[in-house]
Structure 1
Amino acid sequence: MRPTLTIGEFATLTHLSVRTLRRYHEAGLLEPAYVDPATGYRYYTSQQIPTAQVIHRLRQLDVPLAEIRSVLATDDPHRRAEVIAGHARRLEKELARTQAAVVSLRRLLNPEPPSIDVELRSLPRRTVAAITGRVEFGRSLAWYDEAMAELDAAFPPAERTGPPGGQYANALFTHGAGTMTVYRPVREPRASGRIEVIELAPAELAVTVHAGPHDDLDVTYGRLGDWVVTHALTVDGPVHESYLVGPRDTTDSDEWRTEIGWPVFRVTPSVGQDSGREIHTTR
């Protein structure tokens, strides 16, 4: 006696096309209960309807076929939950990246960009505790987190004298790999593990502050770069960042403040210069 449902009937009940059901069969996700050896017709049972619907929902979420097989192959509900939860977390991260890209694109497409405040600043020579490494751009965020965690562990808040910062070689952006240095100003810098005591060279910088999440930091970089090209002479040197407020201070990304410093060459001081600082606003 043949199974209850033809492939067409099963397709109607599950809202899956015949073509999709054939593809699920070929992929080993949902095999028919019976295949007529003479005609090749596929037949299904009503008990397979929930399985078909689960597969369909998982595919709508772009769960890879291998993970779907893992979900269907186990009778352990906890294992099933782990696989699905893991993919859900990846989807949430991808959604966050997509949303950040949309925000950045809207800023770029805004025909009336907001004003940008730029400060010309002279930084003195400073001695700091730092970690330096050559890093692939794709690993830069992970490397930064690891290095900052090591610095934080070595120097508790009572020893710190200012916000953390970083210097990033141009090659990191232009060639996909370059030298990164992250540091903390502390009362008594000392070496430990990867941590070194280094002197940061004096620098002349055009500085602006990026407000909010780091996802569209590149937009602020672009606007600062445009200002520098128009108003100053650029020089070779690492880009400077100072994390006035960041993820280590608050989970509210709207409160984050990242200071970006672009190396420049100042020919003459401007009127109103005070202690090496000049404020410029463009609109």
Structure 2
Amino acid sequence: MRPGLTIGEFATVTHLSVRTLRRYHESGLLEPAWTDDFTGYRYYTAEQIPTAQVIHRLRQLDVPLAEVETVLSADDPRRREEVISGHLRRLEAELDRTRAAVVSLQRLLHPDPADLAVELRSVPTRTVAAVKGVVKQDDSLSWYDAAMAELDAAFPADERTGAPGGRYDNELFTHGAGMFTVFRPVRRPRATGRVEVLDLPGVDLAVTVHAGRHDDIDVTYGRLGTWVVTHALAVDGPIHETYLVGPRDTPDAAEWRTEIGWPVFRLATGTPERAAADRRR
């Protein structure tokens, strides 16, 4: 009676090379069902085909060998699912980072020929409902989501009077951590939980709008920063963002619109060139 599938036959039915099967054997992931002591030939059974294909798929996803071994040795299907799901989440995060980098590079390599639209705007003092704290830049997205959820819960739609916004101290970008403030203009601001009543001072801003998802918002920041520096208008102060349309409004990223406001020298004369000249006197 034939002992099973030769390594060549097993390689054919699983679409795995003989070299790969030998490597799986050496690592202990997939040992042959039987090895001839005299010839050293490896033989596999048909029941091992699904296991070989599972290993192959996991390795295609760059699952570490130790995790592959955990998946194969786990008797509990839930445990196997947890290990695989955890790696898939890591892969999705890596894909998001890769996509963001690709989008930014495409904009940098093929810039929009249209001039950047910048508005010089004086924003008056406002009293808003806000959540603020010192946040690490790597944690900023999750912190923002939690803070906005708290603001939304405290102030239903009929109490809101404008788009939500944020103020980000320079240290958030220069040192990787800094004061992070998100806020909502509402009819009657009141403190509750982490929400506090905050008076935002008046400020003059150079404002532009970033369209679409935030993967390449750094490019828009760079272009606005170049405009401000070119016109000699920059002053120290927190960056302002206003979320005219965002993920909380629509899942269609193409519809998102984010205003970026860069603090500038007070504009008493109405033109950036005149303001810059006045500042140099």
Pick closer, same or farther for the CA change 1:191–1:267 going to 2, 3 Å.
closer
**Is the CA contact 1:225–1:262 (under 8 Å) kept in the aligned structure 2?**
yes
Report the equivalent of 1:155: 155
1:118 aligns with 2:112: no
**Is the CA contact 1:232–1:266 (under 8 Å) kept in the aligned structure 2?**
no
Report the equivalent of 2:276: none
1:59 aligns with 2:59: yes
Distance 1:138 1:10 in 2: 47
Moved more, 166-175 or 14-23: 14-23
Pick closer, same or farther for the CA change 1:267–1:183 going to 2, 3 Å.
closer
Report the equivalent of 1:246: 246
How far is the alpha carbon of 1:10 from its aligned partner?
3.2
Report the equivalent of 1:201: 201
Distance 1:143 1:14 in 2: 46
Show CA shifts across 1:34-76 (max 9, x none).
Answer: 3456776543223322321221122112234344334434566
Report the equivalent of 2:132: 132
**Is the CA contact 1:2–1:43 (under 8 Å) kept in the aligned structure 2?**
no
How far is the alpha carbon of 1:231 from its aligned partner?
1.2
Report the equivalent of 1:166: 166
**Is the CA contact 2:132–2:180 (under 8 Å) kept in the aligned structure 1?**
yes
* Count of residues in correspondence between the two structures: 272
Pick closer, same or farther for the CA change 1:134–1:208 going to 2, 3 Å.
same
Structure 1 unmatched ranges of 5 or more: 273-283
1:221 aligns with 2:221: yes
Letter in 2 for 1:215: D
How far is the alpha carbon of 1:83 from its aligned partner?
5.2
RMSD across aligned positions (CA): 2.7
Report the equivalent of 1:270: 270
Q: Match of 1:116, SS?
A: coil
Q: Match of 1:161, SS?
A: coil
Distance 1:111 1:117 in 2: 14
Distance 1:3 1:113 in 2: 70
Distance 2:33 2:212 in 1: 56
Report the equivalent of 1:28: 28
Structure with greater strand share of residues: 1
Letter in 1 for 2:72: L
Distance 2:171 2:266 in 1: 24
Identity %: 74
Show CA shifts across 1:215-235 (max 9, x none).
Answer: 111111011001001113211
How far is the alpha carbon of 1:89 from its aligned partner?
5.1
Letter in 1 for 2:179: T
Pick closer, same or farther for the CA change 1:254–1:74 going to 2, 3 Å.
same
How far is the alpha carbon of 1:100 from its aligned partner?
3.1
Distance 1:215 1:33 in 2: 50
Pick closer, same or farther for the CA change 1:23–1:165 going to 2, 3 Å.
same
How far is the alpha carbon of 1:110 from its aligned partner?
1.1
How far is the alpha carbon of 1:79 from its aligned partner?
6.2
Q: Which has the higher contact order (CA 8 A, sep 6+)?
A: 1
Distance 2:37 2:239 in 1: 70
Structure 2 unmatched ranges of 5 or more: 273-281
Q: Match of 2:264, SS?
A: strand
Report the equivalent of 1:50: 50
Moved more, 205-214 or 99-108: 99-108
Structure with greater helix share of residues: 2
Pick closer, same or farther for the CA change 1:112–1:243 going to 2, 3 Å.
closer
Q: Match of 1:265, SS?
A: coil
Pick closer, same or farther for the CA change 1:3–1:269 going to 2, 3 Å.
farther
Distance 1:204 1:24 in 2: 64
Report the equivalent of 1:141: 141
Pick closer, same or farther for the CA change 1:259–1:49 going to 2, 3 Å.
same
Query: TM-score, with normalisation over the residues of structure 1?
Result: 0.85
